[in-house]
Amino acid sequence: MRQNLRPYQADGNLFSSNVDVSTEENLECPFCFSSIDLQLLSGIFWNSDNLQTFLKCRKCRNSFVGYAKQDGSVFRIKELSKGNHKIRDFPPEVEVISPMFVKICSEADFAEQDKLSEICGGGYRKALEFLIKDYLIKKYPEKEVEIKKKFLGNCISEMTENPKVKEIAKRATWLGNDEIHYFRKWEGKDLEDLKRLIEITQHLIALEIQSDKYIGEMENE
């Protein structure tokens, strides 16, 4: 999207001529998260190559600020001011067995959206521990006290019977530990890999719960 604008200068006076303003294609409205379709309302130059624009989303009609840098003859909007946090979905089975996982994982996600990149990984690691322990407590309620006291790695290696859950959760734990320790062991992996492994883990757990439900309901022909 490319629009023409006659912005103000920092002193409040109108700029002497119009400028062309465009947006990065991958930007989303910070309120409704739809692909960017903006109405350009006004703008202010803070220096010769730093333009702040006042924008309105044509879909949800919320207003926000766009931060533009000069790119050749065009000022390109590369970043938008904060709006809503994007809410992720969780499998219903996981929401039931581990509401604390959902809460902690959502808070870690919010921290990441706020660009708090050095703390969100630790939050995802904590969320994983609640997911695995709540999953095991559901399977072995008589061992609840033991499970709560056990290290996460031992819970996975000693008590998790589903081989895919065990192997994926083990690797998620490795990457989660990298997020909270001084030294990183898995230099070729990053936060996106951790999030993906946690996502796979929760879906494997949800599939196991669904499978057990149908098997229990239909034991005899």
Dihedral angle sign, alpha carbons of residues 159, 160, 162, 163? negative
In angstroms, the CA 184 to CA 117 distance is 15
Euclidean distance between CA atoms 122 and 127, whole angstroms: 9
% of the chain residues with pLDDT over 70: 98
- Indicate the pTM of the whole model: 0.81
Percent of the chain scoring above 90 in pLDDT: 64
Distance CA 199, CA 174 (A): 15
The predicted structure's pLDDT at residue 40? 82
Q: What confidence score (pLDDT) does residue 96 get?
A: 97
More confident residue, 121 or 11: 121
Tell me the per-residue pLDDT of 171-181, one tens digit each, with 9 for 90 and over.
999 999 999 99
DSSP conformation letters of 130-162: HHHHHHHHHH-GGGHHHHHHS-HHHHHHHH---
pLDDT tens across 144-190, in order?
999 999 999 999 999 999 999 999 999 999 999 999 999 999 999 99
Q: Name beta bridge partners: 65.
A: 54
- Indicate the residue type of 39: Q
Q: Label residue 1 by pLDDT band (50, 70, 90).
A: low
